[in-house]
Amino acid sequence: SQQGEEDPQALSIQEGENATMNCSYKTSINNLQWYRQNSGRGLVHLILIRSNEREKHSGRLRVTLDTSKKSSSLLITASRAADTASYFCATDPEIQGAQKLVFGQGTRLTINP
């Protein structure tokens, strides 16, 4: 079963607006990562946040992590048409001997020009 639940499942906004996607997970984690996938192609790694970090930035991306609530958010500021894609969170569960990523269901983001 999937570790993460993401919401919304789909998000449509105007170009220039900010987009926020949320991810919740069930077990303790070592880290949480966000990925982008364009039209069913390969995954592009966006950002990794470790369990002892609360916030991380990369360009127009801002990721927060709240381990007490087992949740994370991805904020894309000043969205562009090229940001149209599916976004997935993936957790690295804190299970001894397990080094694998467990993916959420994803958010399909559409940026309207």
Partner 1 sequence: SAVISQKPSRDICQRGTSLTIQCQVDSQVTMMFWYRQQPGQSLTLIATANQGSEATYESGFVIDKFPISRPNLTFSTLTVSNMSPEDSSIYLCTGGFYGYTFGSGTRLTVV
67-96: contacts with partner 1 (CB under 8 A): 88, 90, 92
Residues whose CB is less than 8 angstroms from the CB of residue 31 and which lie 6 or more positions away in sequence, other chains included: 48, 49, 50, 51, 91, 92
Contact letters (x/-) for partner 1, 29-68, by CB under 8 A? Answer: --x-x-x----xxxxxx--x--------------------
Asked if 4 and 23 count as a contact pair (C-beta separation under 8 A), the reply is yes
Q: For residue 63, which of 91, 28, 96, 102 has the smallest C-alpha distance?
A: 91
**Judged by CB, which is closer to partner 1: 30, or 71?**
30
Rg (CA), the chain: 14
As given in the structure block, the two tokens for residue 12 are: 């449509």
Supply the minimum distance, in Å, between the C-beta of residue 108 and partner 1: 9
Supply the minimum distance, in Å, between the C-beta of residue 16 and partner 1: 28
Binding status of residue 28 toward partner 1 by CB under 8 A: no
Binding status of residue 113 toward partner 1 by CB under 8 A: no
Instruction: Tell me the C-alpha distance between 69 and 30, whole Å.
Output: 15
Supply the minimum distance, in Å, between the C-beta of residue 90 and partner 1: 8
Supply the minimum distance, in Å, between the C-beta of residue 6 and partner 1: 9
